[in-house]
Structure 1
Amino acid sequence: MRWFLVRPRRNRRLSLLRPAVLAGALVASCLLATGTGDAASRTPITPEGLADLPAIQPAMQCSAVTGLKLDHVTDAPVTIQSATVVSTGTAAPYCEVRGTISPADTIVLRLPVNGWTQRYVQTGCGGLCGSANIDYGQASNCPPVTDGTVASATTDMGHQGLNDGSWALDNPQAQIDFAYRGVHVTSQVAKAIIAKFYGRAAKYSYFTGCSDGGREALMEAQRYPGDFDGISAGAPANNMAVQNTYHHAWNVVANLDDNGKFILYAAKLPMIHAAVLNACDGIDGLRDGLIDDPRQCHFDPDALRCKAGQDTSTCLSPAEAAVVRKLHDGATDAKGNRLEPEIAHEWGSELDWTLFVPATPDQIPQSENFALSYLRYLAFPDAQNPDFQLSDLKFTVQAFWNTVQSSSYMSAMDPDLGAFQRGGGKLLLWHGWSDQHISPQNTLEYWDALRGTMGGSTVDRFARLYLFPGVAHCGGGEGPNTFDVLTPVMAWVESGRSPDKIVASNVTNGTVTRSRPVYPYPTVARYDGTGSVDDAANFVPYTPRGKDSPGYAWVGSQLYSHGYQTWCRADGTTLECRPSQTWLTRRKTLSG
């Protein structure tokens, strides 16, 4: 049986000579050396920090792409089904290419036909994927994206149709493609097509994604560090083996009584949210409806317990208060051992708990669907069970390890990004503080593991983390939720200008109603006391002293370690994975 295993290729990035920066500002007259030679051979830098790259016209007709021979590009045959010019409205026209990388990775490319600025952007997808639709997400405001001058691509990651996990049944190759192969081979094929279509290779390659797209982003940096020069990873589901099992299952079972009936209903979420804001909105010195660091909020749900004679619609029963606490704290076993990082849902995110708190007794919460999709078809590759129910998941330490180890190939937890960093790669991690799907604590723990493994000064040279107050999962929420996370990565790669603040805005009918700066973690924004509190210009950076994290004392903390990931192969209907010897040794120690 053939192994679908592609080792990280040698990084072929051009070496960049850093431009001088005067007083921390990159001025328009700065030049970036893109190779050897005199000043005439250097590429000027735009004020935004992006290289002013000449626009390239296609070297062939769009329709001719279908005749390209690409089987040598990756580890399996490539078929191009169509290549047609798309021109709609005021959008820049592009050549849309659709194809398949065997056995079933659908890929879609957009190739500008009126001037390509030598950049390639690959986008991720969410959930369990299953469709190939290019979505720039929080990078949609990036100038090269808005002006239609980047070549871009995406993939459905090896399966189509239902997003319930059933595609993985007796299909180990689809599991591998979803885990890590699909994004990698798409980058290989897309860059090969680009090189032939324009007669030259992309000068810079980028990846941007959120949720599962964030997991895909980190998987690329960890497993295939030479694929992209810059990566933006938002709200990453990199702890997938825990996220889609114990986290989402706990969202449901923590809200059930002994008879399997729901205790807390969505009608009470606005009341809970108002109480949280009343208790914690001002801890950052400004009452503005946002909690800029929820870890500083020590809200006690028991404060809302009903008093004698009180209208029960305005308060919580003891059982309801207990549920609120459990949902905030996260999954535990009967002995109190934490089965996920502490703080599963930050205070301030309550309005979006409708993801798992039902409105009616007969409603099936989305968290139940997420958990069952994974537990039935992906958590136990050699023991798939379409009839698995949440009641079959045991909240014990032993069951935890059996569950998460079986699908370790799905997680992107390795904090050693040395190969990516040495190749010149740049990483921008970001997360919304009010994320109702994936706890920001997962990203914080990965960030701290990254710094602990590689050293803070090394990480500062190639990575940044941004936490957006009031922003829900990949967007939405009450906080300023419109921002660009791709341009800062491009500028860092192309000019050496490290990212500083990112201005996030609330936009209503095309009008900005509030804007705030968000600084690289751990720095936060503080109101300077003058002007409108809805104007980013009136905020300054402030770096708190000390560590605000509740800590990472949970059963799976060692998952954030080098060697946890496994490589797998398909053998008929069986998935065969090879954990590293390092992890096997550590696992024996953890198991006692």
Structure 2
Amino acid sequence: MEKRPQLVPTMALFCLLLSACSDNDSTPLTQHLTPATPATINICSDIATQFNFKDTVITSSEMVSAGKVEYSSTESYSAPDHCVVKGYMNERIGLGSSGEADTKYAIGFEMRLPKDWNGRFYYQANGGLDGSVSKAVGRLIFAGGADSAALNSGFAVISSDAGHPSPAPQFGFDPQARLDYGYNAVAELTPMAKSLIKIAYGKLPDRSYFAGCSNGGRHTMMAASRYAEMYDGFIVGNPGLHLPNAAVSQLYGAQQYSTLVTYNPDGSDILATLQTAITQEEFGVVSQQILKQCDALDGLADGMVNNTYTCQKEFDLDRDVPTCSEGRNGTCLSAEQKQVLSNIMAGPHNSQTGESLYMQTFHMM
């Protein structure tokens, strides 16, 4: 049986909103979608000769054999035989950090099109400040790891730099680059990607999905609110919202972690860095205790916490996570580490009024 992502279709959400305003109890809450139709790729290396889309340049296209795609130095994903298409849209000269129109901008993209396509399209929204084109492997669609990423499951996948080069922060000087990063790159890339898919397979995608985490989660929330008609479902992870306050929250988190950093008496070697103030192993201890307390709260013990509101009441960091009595050993947290985590999760507050500025989230699960 074919695996399918557990998504809320856009139309189902629309119907749910309608039902809240209707006296008709028969209003449907879900829409049953017909299965997507698979297809086999019919062009790759010569795709640029047949593809014509406004202000779009295909710089390369080639078939690659099944195997591992190295996403980063520490992360790789399984992939079938597929076509890699790279290009850019809307090239222009805009404002740089000098305040002068001296910086080249474009919406760079990569698409990976499986030889045997499942009829679905997946927009991989990337994190941070974007600025580079991550490999379009289709992260986040399933919980099954590298072998279950969207590309390996038969999806056609796109990834982009959101309309600006690295180093990323400087794009903020250019008004159009800010718009592209905020939302416009999605509006430009989506119809282009679907048109390219039609050239490659002879048909448009039957289903389209959008997913991302952190800033990618923000992209996804934005796409759901602005371009819901372009997609059938959205997967949102840890979205960064209200970016100015999110930046304050990030600095607050760095301040908190810095209280756990120690130095030699002469001020030379750092004995602990911000990255190891709480190690991945120690975060894992917290994660396992959260699962222990909260996994089954939604009625199913499946390794995921879905009843998050009840979990906030059931899980207690001080009570449920062991406190180290004889130094850190990867199986406990110190009292100081627990205080830092509690402060970060409470979020920064206005020092004058006590008003909460931003609720912090981070990846522990």
TM-score range, shorter chain: 0.5 to 0.7
Kept after mapping to 2: 8 A contact 1:131/1:161: yes
Q: 1:333 to 1:204 in 2, by over 3 A?
A: same
Partner Cα separation in structure 2 for residue 280 and residue 144 of structure 1: 26
CA separation in 2, counterparts of 1:111 and 1:219? Answer: 25
Alignment of 1:5-24 (within 5 A): none
Match of 1:561 in 2: none
Report the residue type matching 1:162 in the other structure: P
Which of 55, 58, 62 is the matching residue for 2:39?
55
Task: Output the CA distance in 1 between the equivalents of 2:48 and 2:354.
Answer: 59
Q: Which residue of 1 aligns with 2:57?
A: 79
Secondary structure in 2 matching 1:160: coil
| Distance of aligned partners of 1:146 and 1:85 in 2 relative to their CA distance in 1, 3 Å threshold | closer
Which deviations, in whole Å up to 9, do the C-alpha atoms of 1:170-198 show, x marking residues without a partner?
32222111111112211110111122333
Structure 1 residue 94 displacement after superposition: 2.4
Partner of 2:16: none
1:150-299 matches, within 5 Å, as 150-163=155-168, 165-168=169-172, 170-243=173-246, 245-254=247-256, 269=278, 293-299=311-317
The TM-score normalised by the length of structure 2 is 0.62
- The aligned runs of 1:435-474 (5 Å cut-off) are 435-436=362-363, 471=365
Deviation (angstroms), 1:220: 0.7
Counterpart of 2:46, as a letter, is S
Displacement of 1:232: 1.3
Q: CA deviation at 1:158?
A: 0.7
Distance in structure 2 (CA, Å) of the matches to 1:279 and 1:116: 40
Q: Matched residue of 1:176: which SS?
A: helix
User: 2:111, 2:157 within 8 Å by CA — same for their partners in 1?
Assistant: yes
Shift of 1:228: 0.9
Q: What amino acid is the match of 2:245?
A: V
Distance 2:40 2:288 in 1: 56
CA–CA distance in structure 2, aligned partners of residues 285 and 143 of structure 1:
22
Measured in 2, the distance between the counterparts of 1:241 and 1:157 equals: 18
Output aligned runs, 1:491-570, within 5 Å: none
SS of equivalent residue, structure 1 residue 238: coil
Q: What's the counterpart of residue 110 of structure 1?
A: 112
Describe the superposition over 1:544-566 as per-residue Cα deviations: whole angstroms up to 9, x where unpaired.
xxxxxxxxxxxxxxxxxxxxxxx
User: Does the C-alpha gap of structure 1 residues 176 and 251 become closer, same or farther in structure 2, counting only changes over 3 Å?
Assistant: same
Within 5 A, what are the aligned runs for 1:355-370? none
Partner of 1:101: 89
Q: Helix, strand or coil: the match of 1:111?
A: strand
The change in CA–CA distance for 1:157 and 1:147 in structure 2 (over 3 A counts) is closer
CA contact (8 A) 1:66 1:83 kept: no
Structure 2 gap ranges (5+): 1-9, 12-30, 69-78, 92-105, 264-269, 306-310
Q: CA shift at 1:61, angstroms?
A: 5.6
| Secondary structure in structure 1 of the residue aligned to 2:37 | coil
Question: Which amino acid counterpart does residue 85 of structure 1 have in structure 2?
Answer: M
Give distance in 1, aligned partners of 2:160 and 2:38.
28
Q: What are the ranges of 5 or more consecutive residues in structure 1 without an aligned counterpart? A: 1-10, 13-31, 35-42, 44-50, 72-76, 346-434, 437-469, 472-592
Q: Secondary structure at the match of 1:338?
A: coil
Distance in 2 between residues matched to 1:282 and 1:63, nearest whole Å: 53
Which residue of structure 2 lines up, in the alignment, with residue 65 of structure 1?
48
TM-score w.r.t. the length of structure 1 is 0.40
Larger RCO: 1 or 2 (CA < 8 Å, sep 6+): 1
* Residues 139 and 150, structure 2, Cα contact 8 Å, conserved in 1: no
Contact map agreement 1:242 1:340 (CA 8 A) in 2: yes
Deviations 1:180-222 (A, max 9, x none): 1112211110111122333322211112222211111111111
Q: Deviations over 1:27-63 (max 9, x none)?
A: xxxxx987xxxxxxxx6xxxxxxx26243442x5641
2:114 and 2:151 in contact (8 A); partners too: no
What are the superposed Cα offsets for residues 118-174 of structure 1, whole Å, 9 maximum, x if unpaired? Answer: 2212211111112222132222658794656332212111112224x1233x32222
Q: Distance in 1 between matches of 2:287 and 2:158?
A: 42
Percent of aligned pairs with the same residue? 22
Indicate how the Cα distance of structure 1 residues 99 and 33 shifts in structure 2: closer, same or farther if over 3 A, else same: same
What are the within-5 Å matches in structure 2 for residues 469-480 of structure 1?
A: 471=365
Alignment length, in residue pairs? Answer: 281
**Closer/same/farther in 2, CA of residues 323 and 215 from structure 1, 3 Å limit:** closer
Provide the aligned C-alpha RMSD in A.
Answer: 4.4
Provide the rounded CA distance (Å) in 1 between the counterparts of 2:295 and 2:171: 50
> Partners of 1:100 and 1:325 in 2: how far apart?
44
Contact 1:137 1:210 in 2 (8 A): no
Deviation at 1:86, TM superposition (A): 2.3
Match of 2:344?
Answer: 327
2:355 matched residue in structure 1: 337
User: Residues 249 and 95 of structure 1: is their aligned pair in 2 closer, same or farther, counting only changes over 3 Å?
Assistant: same
